[in-house]
Amino acid sequence: MRALPITIAPSILSCDFARIGEEVRRAEDAGADWLHVDVMDGHFVPNLTIGPPVVAAIAKVARVPLDVHLMITDPWTYGPLFAKAGAHVLTFHVEVCPTPEKARELAAHFRAAGVKQVGISLNPDTPLERILPVLDAVDLVLVMSVFPGFGGQAFLPDVLAKTRALREHGYAGHVEMDGGLNADTIPRCAEAGCDAFVSGSALFGASDMRSTLARFRELARAAREKSTHGR
Ligand code: DX5
Ligand code: ZN
Q: In terms of CATH, what superfamily is 7-225? A: Aldolase class I (3.20.20.70)
Q: Which of 33, 38, 67, 195 is catalytic?
A: 38
Distance 157 CA to ligand 1 centre (A): 15
Q: Is the pLDDT of residue 230 over 80?
A: no
Q: pLDDT tens digits, residue range 132-184? A: 999 999 999 999 999 999 999 999 999 999 999 999 999 999 999 999 999 99
Residue from 191, 178, 182 nearest 222 by CA: 191
Q: What is the pTM of this model?
A: 0.97
Q: Is 33 a catalytic residue?
A: no
Domain ranges of the chain: 7-225
Euclidean distance between CA atoms 68 and 86, whole angstroms: 9
Ligand 1 pocket, residues with Cβ under 6 angstroms: 11, 13-14, 36, 38, 69, 146, 148-153, 178-181, 198-202
On whether the CB atoms of residues 95 and 65 are closer than 8 A, the answer is no
208 three-state secondary structure: coil
Distance 109 CA to ligand 2 centre (A): 21
